[in-house]
Amino acid sequence: MKQILFISFCFLVFQSFAQEADPILFAVEDQDVMVSEFEYIYNKNNRDGADYSEASLKEYLDLYVKFKLKVQRARDMKLDTISQLQKELAGYRKQLANSYLNDREVKDRLVREAFDRMQKDVRIAHILVQLQARATPADTAKAYETILRAKQRIDNGESFEKVATQVSQDDNSKSNGGDIGYLTAIMPSGFYAVESAAYDVPVGEVSGIVKSTLGYHLIKVLDRRPARGTMDGSHILVRINKQKTNESAAKSKIEQLYKQIQDGKSFEQIARQYSEDETTAQRGGFIGTFGINTYDAEFEDAAFALEKDGDISKPVKTRLGYHIIKRMRKKKADSFDTAKRKIESQISKNERIDFAKAALIQRIKEEGSFSMDESVYRSFSDQVEGDLFNYRWTPPAVKESTLFSFGDEMVVSNTEFAKFMRSNARVRMRFPKTTSKEEVIQQMMDEFVKEKALEYEEQKLIDKYPDFKALMREYEEGILLFEATKINVWDKASEDTVGLQKFYEQNQQNFMWGERANLVRYTLPAANEKLLAKLKKLANKLPAEKVVAKLNKKESLVSFSRKKYEKGDDALGTLEWKKGAVGPIETDDTNQKATFKMIESLVPPTPKSLSEARGYIVADYQDQLEKEWVASLRNLYTVQINDQVFKSLIKK
């Protein structure tokens, strides 16, 4: 008999284990289970209960050994070769891979990029040539030509500021040479290209042409600084009128108020009494949370220059008038882990996803040594004939040649591309009829390369992501376990009627009724007191059948129903638990009927029949079959457990 072996390793082996990053915890036959795998599944399934105590680890190790024994048996039964199961696993892998490639990898990159950008404020100037959302091709060409000429002027030595003043269609900034001040990520949807230029172009240099929802831009980066973040602040305002006739008086008043604060008077009290910002005065001047580009630059510079909470600025002049600013609370910048979820929410509705996916494809192509045979592509394109926008279009019969490849690991032929074009008729038919043949083929080639790039990258996910590998292993083994258990336990318990009967006979004592009562419910015409009294008298002496027979000789007046109930059942209501106990009269005015309940007899505990307890009996029979199955697997396979490694996992 083969049995579980606890191996005590000699000093040299133990020394080897100590140097090994991921040692073997146990093995079923020649299938090793590493510590990392066991810890992953232990933590996942125990969650808060994963305390790494010896008792908890032993219990879960025993469960996992049983699990692996069943999986080993499933493989030996060749269940992993069943086409339906292979198809199910392939579908899951594809779904999971898409999640990693299209969501996880792209999103992780974007979140990290956004977080890194949020650590800096960037001051930019821009030249804008506006373009309507539904611009005609002619308008688009005209706008692009305008921004291109502006770029050429700058490249030829003219100052950005001069060109901005003459060309930019942003009336708010053109008079300042295009300067729009400091900005920070994350910029609104539609401005990701502008944001990228702002953070990627070196200070002092000008970007290429970038497009936003407003039109075409040229971006000049003027400065970058550590991000100011946000703060809660308060202020006292003395306004300057539009004519500026009271500027001197306003300055004198703010200086007097500042002196009162220096002399110890409450900032909040002065704000309530003297601040000319009606919205905030009654709140002691509190203006809430703000960051950059919320107020005038002079106001923000003074506010963020305050070094600690509670500090108060000297009087500051802005377009509105004179302010005294108090720093209430400077908010600490979030860590990456804290900010991650918020950033994910912000970028989920942002066009940067499309940019990032394009960058992902480009990275895959670069890392995979992507190579396109342009001559094969041109030859295929030249041979394409017929109406590409027709559902019945068929590709040309070309000699099979390598169209592109990812190193030596993936080789794709021109005939595969031909099949792709043929099978994606709906994509072909969506192109405007004015689209040239060459443009249709090129765009479909781009999609085909993208699809193959993701397919190529999918093959590498197991090596790149340990949790992807763990999830795939978990799902595959789960499928095998389900099928093996179905064959050896569930189906057997349901179909083995002889075995089930024998199990029932051997374990009847486990399927017992508790003490029960035969409850009879009598029904008779309402308001017939004489009949009711006679019914109760007879019911105390005779079975219900005889009672009804006696009372219904002339006409059918009384009926009854009988059912067994266990002690404590709600159907018994407040009836006393004894033979002959009678419940209250219940009247149904609609049907003019009266009913009452009576305990006709008490029934001692008896075994349930197989049909009465079939669900419970089958479940217990399944448990027995599983125990017998596991015992047979322990005899069939050798399990080796590394005791030293197991002990190293114990934390308490």
> What is the 3-class SS of 226-258, one letter each residue?
ECCCCEEEEEEEEECCCCCCCHHHHHHHHHHHH
Distance (Å, rounded) from C-alpha 546 to C-alpha 542? 6
Residue 451 and residue 542 in one domain: no
**pLDDT confidence bin for 7, thresholds 50/70/90:** very low
**pLDDT confidence bin for 288, thresholds 50/70/90:** very high
Mean pLDDT value of segment 579-597: 88
Tokens of residue 355, six digits: 């940019």
Residue 298 and residue 382 in one domain: no
Average predicted confidence (pLDDT) for the chain: 89
Note whether 289 and 272 are within 8 A (CB). no
Mean pLDDT value of segment 301-325: 96
Strands (DSSP E) contained in 358-470 are 370-372, 402-406, 410-413
Contacts of 397 (CB under 8 A, 6+ apart): none
CA distances from 39 to 369, 499, 647 (A): 37, 39, 13
Distance (Å, rounded) from C-alpha 639 to C-alpha 73? 13
Residue 651 lies in a domain: no
Residue 636 lies in a domain: no
Distance (Å, rounded) from C-alpha 357 to C-alpha 335? 26
Residue 218 lies in a domain: yes
CB burial class (10 A; 0-12, 13-18, 19+) of residue 202?
Answer: exposed
Residue 197 and residue 220 in one domain: yes
Task: Report the number of distinct structural domains present in the chain.
Answer: 5
Distance (Å, rounded) from C-alpha 256 to C-alpha 274? 11
Residue 110 lies in a domain: no
CA distances from 538 to 67, 237, 330 (A): 64, 98, 89
Contacts of 395 (CB under 8 A, 6+ apart): 384, 418, 419, 421, 422
Distance (Å, rounded) from C-alpha 389 to C-alpha 401? 26
Note whether 36 and 22 are within 8 A (CB). yes
Residue 139 and residue 185 in one domain: yes
User: For 154-168, 228-242, 425-439, 507-521, which range has the lowest pLDDT when averaged over its residues?
Assistant: 425-439
Residue 378 lies in a domain: yes
Q: Is the pLDDT of residue 6 over 60?
A: no
Span 369-383, pLDDT tens digits: 999 999 999 999 999
- The neighbour count for residue 298, using CB atoms within 10 Å, is 13
Residue finishing a domain among 174, 197, 226: 226
Residue finishing a domain among 210, 226, 242: 226
Residue finishing a domain among 175, 208, 226: 226
Note whether 456 and 368 are within 8 A (CB). yes
Give the pLDDT confidence score for residue 344 in this predicted structure. 83
**pLDDT confidence bin for 497, thresholds 50/70/90:** confident
**pLDDT confidence bin for 104, thresholds 50/70/90:** low
Q: Is the pLDDT of residue 12 over 60?
A: no
Residue 442 and residue 457 in one domain: yes
**pLDDT confidence bin for 521, thresholds 50/70/90:** very high
Distance (Å, rounded) from C-alpha 71 to C-alpha 285? 70
Residue 196 and residue 247 in one domain: no
Q: Residue 474 in 3-state DSSP?
A: helix
SS3 for 163-190, per residue? HHHHHCCCCCCHHHCCEEEEEECCCCCC
**pLDDT confidence bin for 346, thresholds 50/70/90:** confident
Residue 466 lies in a domain: no
Residue 249 and residue 325 in one domain: yes
Tokens of residue 173, six digits: 């900034």
Mean pLDDT value of segment 551-562: 90
Q: Which domain holds residue 67?
A: 5-72
Note whether 640 and 13 are within 8 A (CB). no
- The neighbour count for residue 150, using CB atoms within 10 Å, is 24
Give the pLDDT confidence score for residue 561 in this predicted structure. 92
Q: Cα 236 from chain centroid? A: 46
Mean pLDDT value of segment 410-415: 94
Q: At what angle do helices 336-347 and 106-118 cross, to 10 degrees?
A: 110
Give the pLDDT confidence score for residue 160 in this predicted structure. 97
Distance (Å, rounded) from C-alpha 342 to C-alpha 473? 32
Residue 306 and residue 379 in one domain: no
Mean pLDDT value of segment 12-25: 56
Residue 520 and residue 432 in one domain: no
**């008896």: which residue's tokens?**
606
Q: Cα 500 from chain centroid? A: 45
Q: Say which CATH number the domain at 277 has.
A: 3.10.50.40
**């795939």: which residue's tokens?**
472
Residue 398 lies in a domain: yes
Residue 198 and residue 184 in one domain: yes
Residue 569 lies in a domain: yes
Tokens of residue 87, six digits: 């198809």
Residue 207 and residue 181 in one domain: yes
Distance (Å, rounded) from C-alpha 268 to C-alpha 275? 10
> Residue 637 corresponds to which amino acid?
Y
Task: Select, from the ranges 132-136, 167-171, 337-341, 606-610, the one with the highest average predicted confidence (pLDDT).
Answer: 167-171
Residue 273 and residue 324 in one domain: yes
| Better pLDDT: 435 or 381 | 381
**pLDDT confidence bin for 17, thresholds 50/70/90:** very low
